[in-house]
């Protein structure tokens, strides 16, 4: 559409009012030919059977040394069939040419098909600075949490957007066919291949089926005690979760969450108070430290009226599954993760389905070389503090009610 200037009536996205200069790139010249070139033009012996109508293709030049590979494509531009405005160009590139081949030009549009190395992505992005152009990428994240993926999935830089397409969006397959396709992949590839979730190092920290912990929101009974938990942040997000505890079944319900970057204590404190000032708030051990944004964050929240627990989150000396009753084991990340995983597997840990930020972190939480990767885990850290401090959860005290006759006697005392 951008290359031809022909936009359908339903289109509500960006439009160019002139011919555009663009690149389309793949991993190698051969893969670019068999991928983006084929999508746009059709196979070389069937030019005009791709997404660009044959009558719009005015000319093309060939790439040297690669059979059937086009170097530059010229497309007649103009809405309503008026092609007097000039030609759009699409030049085909490949990552194996190196970063230097992605320099110099000013572009309106750049399409990376398959994930590029960050240096090539950054160089390509720079090509659109002068024009205010667009870069988009289409790929399955088989390389895991790379710098390129992190920019979109965890950092969420301003001006970026991610569309996740899963096997369930492929509705031209029946439910039975989709199940066969999922089963055909090795287990370690399934989330990446069928859900677009980046492959995660040596494994996910919580290897449980997401649907086993996800539930639709339910009314929370008044007799279920509640607790909030806070993970301090500024450059990385400040994160808060709210949980309810069904003591009869020993089940934890995460019913709300909050994650905001680069905001000060009064902002976060107002959110905590607004959700229920009576709810106790668990917090990590670094809350007693002085920080760049002020002394002792826990005290700052307490001074702002937040119902902070007296001590930082930790297990009781005889609880939490720790082998030793030491300060280190009572604060152990692994103990906290183990506690949460045990609950998940025993169906005693549930998360309300609308908490997308929480599930986003849950999907990405992984190990590398056996160690938990501390990256984009703010809400999960807060959840761990909540589980460590579960014994301090409280119910809301009922309002004191006094009958009129008794009230008079009470006041006279």
In the structure, what pLDDT confidence band is assigned to residue 320 with cuts at 50, 70 and 90?
A: very low
| Res. 321: pLDDT tops 50 | no
| Res. 109: pLDDT tops 70 | yes
Q: Where are the beta strands (DSSP E) in 272-345?
A: 281-282
The set of catalytic residues is 114
Per-residue pLDDT tens over the stretch 292-307: 555 789 999 999 999 9
- The DSSP line for 66-85 is STT-EEEEEEE--GGG--TT
In the structure, what pLDDT confidence band is assigned to residue 77 with cuts at 50, 70 and 90?
A: very high
Least confident of 119-123, 232-236, 252-256: 232-236
Task: Count CA atoms within 13 Å of residue 142 on its CB side.
Answer: 13
* Whether the Cβ atoms of residue 229 and residue 382 lie closer than 8 Å to each other: yes
pLDDT of 4 reads 94
**Separation of alpha carbons 385 and 272, rounded Å:** 16
325 or 300, which is more confident: 300
Strand partners, 25: 93, 112
- For the chain, give the percent of residues with pLDDT over 90: 67
Architecture of 211-392 per CATH?
Answer: 2-Layer Sandwich (3.30)
What is the average pLDDT value for the chain, to the nearest integer? Answer: 88
Q: Would you list the domain boundaries of the chain?
A: 21-139, 211-392
Per-residue pLDDT tens over the stretch 58-76: 999 999 989 999 999 999 9
pLDDT of 401 reads 53
Across residues 22-47, what is the average pLDDT? 94
**Separation of alpha carbons 393 and 193, rounded Å:** 41
Whose CA is closest to 24, among 98, 91, 116, 118? Answer: 91
**Separation of alpha carbons 361 and 354, rounded Å:** 14
pLDDT of 372 reads 87
In the structure, what pLDDT confidence band is assigned to residue 290 with cuts at 50, 70 and 90?
A: low
pTM comes to: 0.61
Residues 6+ apart with CB under 8 A from 397: 278
Residues 6+ apart with CB under 8 A from 246: 224, 253
- For the chain, give the percent of residues with pLDDT over 70: 91
- Residue indicated by tokens 């390389």: 143
């Amino acid at each position: 559409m951008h290359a031809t200037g022909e936009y359908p009536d339903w289109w509500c996205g960006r439009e160019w009012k002139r011919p555009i200069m663009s690149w389309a790139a793949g991993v190698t010249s051969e893969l670019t030919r068999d991928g983006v070139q084929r999508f746009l033009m059709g196979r070389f012996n069937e030019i005009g059977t791709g997404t660009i109508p044959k009558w719009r293709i005015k000319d093309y030049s060939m790439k040297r040394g690669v059979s059937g590979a086009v170097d530059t494509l010229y497309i007649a531009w103009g809405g309503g069939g008026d092609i007097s405005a000039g030609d759009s160009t699409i030049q085909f590139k490949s990552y194996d040419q190196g970063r230097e081949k992605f320099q110099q030009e000013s572009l309106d549009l750049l399409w990376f098909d398959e994930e590029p190395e960050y240096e090539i992505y950054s160089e390509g992005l720079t090509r659109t600075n002068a024009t205010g152009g667009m870069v988009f990428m289409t790929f399955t994240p088989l390389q895991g949490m790379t710098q390129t993926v992190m920019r979109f999935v965890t950092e969420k830089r301003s001006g970026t957007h991610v569309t996740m397409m899963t096997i369930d969006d492929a509705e031209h397959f029946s439910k039975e066919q989709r199940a066969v396709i999922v089963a055909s992949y090795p287990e370690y590839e399934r989330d990446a291949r069928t859900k677009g979730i980046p492959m995660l190092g040596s494994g996910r920290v919580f290897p449980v089926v997401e649907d086993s912990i996800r539930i639709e929101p339910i009314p929370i009974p008044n007799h279920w005690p509640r607790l909030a938990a806070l993970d301090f942040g500024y450059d990385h997000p400040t994160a808060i979760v709210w949980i309810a505890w069904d003591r009869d079944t020993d089940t934890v319900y995460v019913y709300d969450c909050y994650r905001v970057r680069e905001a000060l204590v009064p902002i976060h404190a107002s959110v905590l108070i607004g959700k229920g000032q009576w709810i106790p708030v668990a917090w990590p051990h670094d809350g007693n430290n002085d920080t760049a944004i002020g002394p002792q964050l826990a005290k700052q929240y307490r001074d702002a009226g937040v119902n902070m627990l007296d001590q930082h989150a930790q297990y009781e000396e005889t609880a939490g599954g720790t082998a030793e009753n030491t300060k280190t084991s009572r604060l152990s990340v692994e103990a906290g993760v183990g506690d949460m995983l045990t609950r998940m597997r025993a169906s005693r840990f549930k998360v309300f389905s609308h908490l997308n930020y929480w599930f986003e972190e849950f999907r990405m939480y992984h190990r590398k070389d056996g160690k938990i990767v501390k990256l984009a885990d703010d809400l999960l850290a807060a959840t761990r503090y909540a589980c460590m401090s579960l014994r301090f959860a409280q119910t809301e005290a009922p309002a004191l009610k006094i009958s009129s006759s008794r009230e008079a006697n009470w006041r006279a005392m």
